[in-house]
Amino acid sequence: MKVIELQDVTRNYKVGQVETPALRGVNLTIEEGEFTAIVGPSGSGKTTMLQLMGCLDRPTGGRVHINGQDVTRLNPNKRADLRKETIGFVFQFFALIPGLTAYENVELPLLLSGAKKAERRERVNELLEAVGISDRARHRPDQMSGGEQQRVAIARALATHPVLVLADEPTANLDTENGRQIMEIMVRLNQETGTTFIFATHDPRVITFARRTVELRDGRVTDNSRHA
C-alpha cells in the first residue's frame, strides 16, 4: 500500500522579489513499512520534501497523497487532524516541550487525540521502555542528554500509532555512538511495528541503516534505490 505519493511536486520560496525553487517536479512513492533515507547536500530540498510529506507545508505545484488521500488542498484544520492521526515527527533539535517531563512530552499527542488516562499511561510506559529510557520518565529535557532527548522524541512520534514517521536529520546533533543507537532504535521499531520511517540525512554512517535511499540534488530526485 502506498503511504506517500508525490506527483510532479514543485515548491518555490519567494525571498523578496526573487522566487527560488526548492523542489522541481518530484515524483516519488513510498510504500507502507519502508525505511527510507532522503539524502543529499544542504539546500537540495530534503527538509522541504519532508515538510510537504508531513502536511506542514503545501506544494506550489503537483499533488501530495498520504494514505491514498490527496492532501494538497486540505484546509489547515484538516491538515492538523491528519498530522495528529497519521504522522509522527522527529526533529534535528529534539523539539521537546521544555517544561514537560519525558513522560509528559510523550503523553502530549495522546492528550491531543483524546486518549483516556489509563490508555495514555500504558502507551507512554510502553514507548519509554521501547526506547530504553523508562528510568528518565520524570526528567525534563534540560536534565537529559541529547541522545536521551532524541529517544523521547522518537517515543512521542510513535505515541498515536502513526502510519508514518518523518525524521529530519535525527542524528545531526548527536555523537557517533548516540547517533548509531538512535538509528538502531528506529530500525527496530520499524521492524516491530511496521511503521513507515522516512528520514532526511547527509551523514554517510546513517545512510547505511536505510533499506531505500532517495537522493536529491537541486530539488530533483537523482537516485532512488532499494538495498538488500
Residue 204 within binding range of other proteins, rule CB under 8 A: no
Span from 18-26, 104-112, 186-194, 200-208 in contact with other proteins (CB under 8 A): 104-112
User: What's 141's DSSP letter?
Assistant: G
Site membership for other proteins, residue 54 (CB under 8 A): yes
Q: Are the CB atoms for 216 and 40 separated by under 8 Å? A: yes
Residues near 199 by Cβ (< 8 Å), separated by ≥ 6?
36, 37, 38, 90, 166, 167, 168, 169, 170, 186, 206, 210
- Return d(Cα 194, Cα 86) in angstroms, integer: 14
114 belongs to the binding site for other proteins (CB under 8 A): yes
User: Which residues does 27 contact at the CB level (< 8 Å), separation at least 6?
Assistant: 6, 7, 8, 9, 221
Binding other proteins (rule: CB under 8 A), the pick from 63, 84, 180, 202 is 84
Which residue in 108, 137, 172, 187 binds other proteins (CB under 8 A)? 108
Options 12, 60, 113, 224; binder of other proteins; rule CB under 8 A? 113
Nearest to residue 137, comparing CAs of 159, 106, 166?
Answer: 106
Nearer to other proteins, 95 or 137 (CB): 95
Identify which of residues 84 and 121 has a Cβ nearer to other proteins in the complex. Answer: 84
User: Which residues of the chain form contacts with other proteins (CB under 8 A)?
Assistant: 51, 54, 56-57, 76-77, 80-85, 89, 91-93, 95-100, 104, 108-109, 111-114, 156
